[in-house]
Every structure is written in structure tokens, then in C-alpha cells.
Amino acid sequence: MKNKLLSIHYLRGLAALFVVLFHYRRTLNDVYVQKDLGDIFFNGAFFGVDLFFMISGFVMVYSTKSDSRIISFVLKRFFKIYPVYIFCLLSWLALHLSNLPPLIDIVKSISFIHLNYNSTAPWFGGSIVGTAWTLTYEILFYIIFLVAMQLSQKHRTLICSILIASIFVLVNYYFSGNIGFGTHGKLNYQGTASFILKPLASPLMLEFIYGMITCEIYLKLNTEETYKNASDISRVFLLSSLAIMALMVSKGNIDHGPMNIGIPCLLVLLSAVIYEKYFGLKERKTLQFFADISYPLYLVHLLVSSYMYEIKNLFPFYA
């Protein structure tokens, strides 16, 4: 665990787990006396996606503190994302040989391009690998961050934040005449550049800024004796952030975005890393396990769920 922040690692695992619970929530419905039990518990668990974006922003700043080489950056991102993704994509295609999607959709999925930019934002028709729609935003963030890092290693967070925010504002204002933070808003553009412009115009891109700023705060924290009171406050901050998150998620009617579920996600992320800065965290095998498998779990769980009902037909006791 050397050089790895346990708080970030654990939050990544929990984020993936909550996304799984969100997608599997209906398997709890119509089973017990409370017919909508799954929706009650996990209807707001989609927040894992927003938390993922912030964690990505944090990790980009943290992992490039002393390494700004282009080749290193690209290779690390490529081997972290692509091999597992291609395995999941090929597995899905192999299991659907009798009903394969159009070739253009396969090519789009390989290229991290959403399937239909006339469809509802921010999913835009998604991807063949269901949850992979978020990877398009990740890739665009990596590209912008790489540009910022080459312009200035020291000021990469500031430059990247300005680029993301400026593109978001300019694209929305130029094509739609307004700046909105609703994640389902439609950009008034139908051209061939939709695969770039529409994701860049999504408020979800702003959540990477949340993560980057959180990392800058973490790196500048001072844990010397003169900051003893801050360590006491960090306990209260963490507990309060978790309480706010639990309250917002329990409502179930909140949405993606930096001005919605993104706010409690930011509070949890910031309070968690501050807490670890002052008090440290112990290694927990269960949390470590889910953290280690977070990315493949995130990608593969919808592939598994597509066959759950077929399994139920073969083995009635599964119900």
C-alpha cells in the first residue's frame, strides 16, 4: 500500500459497489412484504459514478506530482483501462453471437464513443458494455489534463480546471445560448462533432475539477502541532459529510451532477482524505478487496445481470 491513499482506494471500491447495488436494486423488489425494498435502499446509489469522476480528478493530480512524461501518462492510462474493457466487450459479444449489434455500434464502443448522441444526456445511448458510457468522459478528461500538464507541471490543476470550465461554458453558450447544470439538458447541435462537443458540454465534466481541487487541498495540508485543532475538526467534518450523503441518497430523487449529488460526494471525498491526513487509516481486507476489483466489477456486473433472470428460469429456487 506504499504511496497509496487508503481513503481514495476504499472510496473507489465503495463507489463501484454502490453502482452495482443501484443496478441490481430491482432484484429485491416484489420479494418481501415491502414490495419496493430495492428502490428504497438503493435508488440513490448511482452517486458512485459522480464519486468516480472526482476520484479520477484527485488521482490525476496526485499521481503526476513528480512524473509529467507523456509516454508514462499515456501507457498507465491505457493499460489501466483498455485491456479489461476489451475483455468485457468481447465477452458480451461472445454471449450475444446470435444477436450481434450493428458493426458501427461495435466500432463506437471500441472507440469509447456513445451509441446515440440524439439520445438522452449524459448517457447518449450508452455503450455495448452498459456502464462504459462514463469512460468517454474519463478519456476526454485525460486528454485535457495531459495538455494542461505539458503547459505547466506546477499549475496543471489550475490550467486543466480553466480549460474544462471554459469549454463547458463556451460550448453551451455558443450552441444553446445558456449555461445549465442539469445533466439531462440537450445541446443544440447535431453535427459530426457531437461525440466530442456533447460530452464536453455536460456538467459531469466539472466534477473532475472537484477532485483536482480536493487533491490540491490535501497536498497543502499542514499536520504540524499548530494545526492540532484542525485534526479535531476533521472528525466532525467526516461524520457530517457522511450524514449529509446518507440523507441525500435516502431521498432517491436527486440527480447526477456537480450541483446535485456531486456536492455531498465532494464533501465525503474531501473529509475522507483530510481525516486520513491527520489520523491515518487501517487496512481492511474487505474494503481492500472491493477496491482492488472496483474497475472490473464496475464493467462486468451488467453483463452478469443480463443472465440472472435466465438463471432463475433454470433454477427456480434462485428467485
Q: Is 57 exposed, middle or buried (0-12, 13-18, 19+ CB in 10 A)?
A: buried
Mention every residue, 6+ apart, whose C-beta is less than 8 A from residue 276: 5, 6, 7
The whole-number pLDDT of residue 313 equals 62
Which phi-psi region, left, alpha or beta, contains residue 127 (left: φ > 0; alpha: ψ -120 to 50)?
beta
Closest Cα partner for 54 from 215, 178, 198, 171? 215
Closest Cα partner for 55 from 228, 240, 200, 272? 272
CA–CA dist 303, 187 (Å, integer):
31
The whole-number pLDDT of residue 228 equals 60
Q: Residues 227-282: pLDDT tens digits?
A: 566 667 888 999 999 999 999 888 767 899 999 999 999 999 999 999 999 888 99
Q: Which three cell numbers stand for residue 310?
A: 435466465
> What is the pTM assigned to this prediction?
0.93
Domain assignments of the chain as residue spans, ordered by start: 6-318
Confidence of residue 111 (pLDDT cuts 50, 70, 90): very high
Confidence of residue 2 (pLDDT cuts 50, 70, 90): very low
